[in-house]
């Protein structure tokens, strides 16, 4: 591998890691500023993205954002994601990525803090605007 290819691969990997961090920031905004959250998430997903949060497939960026806004904003007081152990494999203009996740949340009107542990499995595509999530699957491993 040439030095230029190595630099490009590192740049792509960092861009993808930053995109996932932006996804988490957008999701964390849902309880407190759904409008801003939707705006952030619009820049994360490809227009024809598909997501599976364990309740069936959501097809299209607008459907994914509506699901998140309608499902989280009205019921959560706050939400906090931490992403770990990124694995990113770039193949030209496509990439696969996997992440471990710890999410903490509190429902409105509750004092209990809930924790979800799991993984995201993503495929990404390079667009003229940069990397975007094409498919995303949440794999929950534990909730307490």
pLDDT digits (tens, 9 = 90+) for 73-83: 999 999 999 99
Is-above-0.85 flag for pTM?
yes
DSSP structural state of residue 44: T
Structure confidence at residue 34 (pLDDT): 98
Structure confidence at residue 6 (pLDDT): 83
**Rounded-to-integer distance, Cα 117 and Cα 106, Å:** 15
Query: What structural domains does the chain harbor?
Result: 3-143 (3.10.450.50)
Under-50 pLDDT residues of the chain: none
Structure confidence at residue 84 (pLDDT): 94
> Which SS3 state, helix, strand or coil, does residue 74 take?
coil
Residues 6 or more apart whose CB falls under 8 angstroms from that of 95 comprise 12, 16, 88, 89, 123, 124, 125, 126, 131
């Amino acid at each position: 591998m040439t030095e230029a290819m190595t630099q490009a691969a590192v740049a792509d990997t960092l861009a993808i890691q930053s995109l996932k961090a932006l996804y988490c920031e957008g999701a964390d905004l849902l309880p407190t500023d759904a409008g801003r959250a939707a705006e952030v998430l619009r820049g994360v997903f490809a227009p024809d993205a598909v997501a599976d949060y364990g309740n069936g497939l959501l097809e299209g960026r607008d459907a994914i954002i509506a699901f998140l806004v309608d499902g989280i904003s009205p019921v959560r007081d706050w939400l906090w994601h931490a992403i770990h152990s990124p694995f990113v494999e770039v193949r030209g203009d496509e990439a696969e990525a996997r992440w471990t996740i710890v999410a903490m949340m509190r429902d409105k009107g509750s004092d209990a803090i809930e924790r979800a542990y799991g993984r995201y499995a993503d495929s990404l595509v390079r667009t003229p605007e940069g990397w975007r999530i094409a498919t995303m699957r949440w794999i929950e491993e534990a909730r307490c």
